[in-house]
Structure 1
């Protein structure tokens, strides 16, 4: 996961890259939207493939396809090949994100229930470390050639595929029964699970708010006359706190009941975004960001481990649905942040805080066990039942 994230440049630098290749802002935005749409659909596809062919094969296959498509992207990056580039980016987003449900299912299958949340915290820490180091690598590659962004991304994706194929275990070889039906009826249990649907809505809302520290926050800081350097310091602080602190926080939070951990973390995240409303200096902006990130550390591992508590036969589809809900929130977040900022300015922050409060309530209701179940601690693996 760390290797893969070190080269995850395509989405982050897409707009800048296409601008250097002569694309209009509208065309570049359309390409980025195509990638994001493919990414949301890719998580659902990844959940289905994990159910049918197993997590190892899904990871290896998806990342091999991603590597192939990303390697061809520079040859398609001219305005005359705009339609072909759109199709390529849909496929790239689809393949690049299809591995996520497979990775989550493989992790949940291999880890004992009492260690599962900590395992997800470790995985998130590896991803955050890669995401923090990646832009530094990208800055060096851009100085040589912008096309190297895609070639390096393709190389890390291919390395991930090779490592997955030859170093990860094949969980399906253990003979796990997959007795759930195929086709549309396979998702009927998910659609009937009202608690899980509340969890999905809360996940989407939370993701929309989470992405505002990279959307609405730079708009606010620019309007307030702060430098780009200060924004870089804020981002670096967020990454450093996440990388160094999440596993330690998880060691305490894992003793809490899952709905309490998820709701509390989301509420703390809401306090952080509310703080941006009044933060006008460097110290307050950094301190508010620490509160914001603390909420993410409290709730994140618990929420990502939650679908792993569903029965093995349906687990991959529940994991895929959760990843899709999170991806949808990340895709909608920039649209929401820019629109609300243009219309209301700083009022975006109390709206985000209110949305976090609603999300926290939905999480508490959605992650409580079904009637007749026991509401154990996170480490007990009692995160809910399907149906």
Structure 2
């Protein structure tokens, strides 16, 4: 956003439509009970499962999550965001709640199926939420809206472990019953409060019917041909949308930035604890780092997003990636002082606040006919990176030690340059300097010569 007038946090909050408030509230409620991915391994090992079996369950959940965002994008395109959120959350609730019943001996394969399906449906709502957010929020505040959604997710992610710590003292099984319960609450909120919208596939079909000129034919032939064409349209539309995406070089560069950036960002939760343990810091120090990061992000992101709103999108994304790259590299100095760890965490968070809202809002700028699929693909790539991040982090950290963080900084900087190339728009042609005064309504001639 490059308007001359600055975007203010209060103005953005005031301009937020009521359905968007309901949407963000549902996201927060759902995230407050999102315990599966965080506590699944601990829970299964507590119930007597082997570490390898618990790891397989987490892999199943991650794989389901990747495909879930793609499935959610297709359902959103065909049936609309509200229906997708309702269906995904209503389906995930019993699946998540039943995990505790399948954690005993001899139930590994049913457990893997249920956990995989839970990941599939739990993540399927996310493309729908992003589409609905971009459709309802005024264009001027689009990036701010995605910043609001990130804050809702991060508040939930920060509070969920605290809630879990209390729940575990009562009963481990309650974790998954509460998780399923919050998903069901979100489904009910979507049913009662979110607006009904015409699905994009239906809108396209209606537009095609209104614009079509039927050819002269014998009675009955026209109806049969039209029905067959309408039945084949969704599949063809899906193929053409993904084919166009694969041929869009700029969007592929953007997806590359999402992949690399997500791989390195996740190391703050994977390799950093290993680094601090190797440097003989107490476990509580890592909790302090996470708390500082969460507080800075939750309290500052909207203000940072508003302050930088007048800068071009490509400037925001490259600047944010470079700041984050410096922060990751600073983690390599943790062995000298804990102050470097805190400083690195703050820099990483500031880099995320500068770049992430624009990065996650970018797919929503595409036409409505392909928006859901572009959003779903971006989220699937991010999910794949998160699934690969433990392999990437543990393998390289054990071999590089402190030098691993310098590598993370370099990879993040490379992601920034991919993002720069992927989101940058060509400059608009400037009007001719020697053009004379124009009367109102006269077309402007750009780049002409006399």
TM superposition score normalised by structure 1: 0.94
Partner of 2:304: 249
CA displacement at 1:282 relative to structure 2: 2.2
Deviations 1:48-91 (A, max 9, x none): 11000000100110011110101111111113100000000110
Say whether 1:99 aligns with 2:155.
no
Partner Cα separation in structure 2 for residue 373 and residue 21 of structure 1: 65
CA displacement at 1:310 relative to structure 2: 0.2
Say whether 1:75 aligns with 2:130.
no
CA displacement at 1:22 relative to structure 2: 0.9
Partner of 2:351: 295
Deviations 1:305-352 (A, max 9, x none): 000100011100001011111111111111111111122211210110
Q: Does the aligned pair in 2 maintain the 1:307–1:319 contact within 8 Å?
A: yes
Partner Cα separation in structure 2 for residue 343 and residue 174 of structure 1: 49
| SS of equivalent to 1:292 | helix
Partner Cα separation in structure 1 for residue 332 and residue 187 of structure 2: 44
CA displacement at 1:165 relative to structure 2: 1.2
* Greater radius of gyration (CA): 2
Q: 1:178 to 1:326 in 2, by over 3 A?
A: farther
Alignment of 1:89-238 (within 5 A): 89-172=115-198, 177-178=203-204, 181-238=236-293
Q: Does the aligned pair in 2 maintain the 1:203–1:325 contact within 8 Å?
A: yes
Deviations 1:33-53 (A, max 9, x none): 000000011111111110000
Partner of 1:311: 367
Deviations 1:208-254 (A, max 9, x none): 11111111100000000000010000001111111101101000122
Mean Cα displacement is larger for which, 125-134 or 253-262?
253-262
Partner of 1:36: 62
Partner Cα separation in structure 1 for residue 253 and residue 413 of structure 2: 14
Q: Does the aligned pair in 1 maintain the 2:257–2:418 contact within 8 Å?
A: yes
Q: 1:294 to 1:371 in 2, by over 3 A?
A: closer
Mean Cα displacement is larger for which, 339-348 or 287-296?
339-348
CA displacement at 1:175 relative to structure 2: 10
Q: Does the aligned pair in 1 maintain the 2:78–2:199 contact within 8 Å?
A: no
Say whether 1:282 aligns with 2:338.
yes
Say whether 1:343 aligns with 2:369.
no
| SS of equivalent to 1:276 | helix
Q: Does the aligned pair in 1 maintain the 2:75–2:84 contact within 8 Å?
A: yes
The partner residue of 1:330 within 383, 386, 407 is 386
| SS of equivalent to 1:80 | coil
Q: Does the aligned pair in 2 maintain the 1:68–1:154 contact within 8 Å?
A: yes
Mean Cα displacement is larger for which, 364-373 or 243-252?
364-373
Partner Cα separation in structure 1 for residue 70 and residue 389 of structure 2: 20
Q: Does the aligned pair in 2 maintain the 1:51–1:178 contact within 8 Å?
A: no
TM superposition score normalised by structure 2: 0.81
The partner residue of 1:18 within 23, 44, 47 is 44
| SS of equivalent to 2:333 | coil
Q: 1:23 to 1:243 in 2, by over 3 A?
A: same
Q: Does the aligned pair in 2 maintain the 1:74–1:150 contact within 8 Å?
A: yes
| SS of equivalent to 1:172 | coil
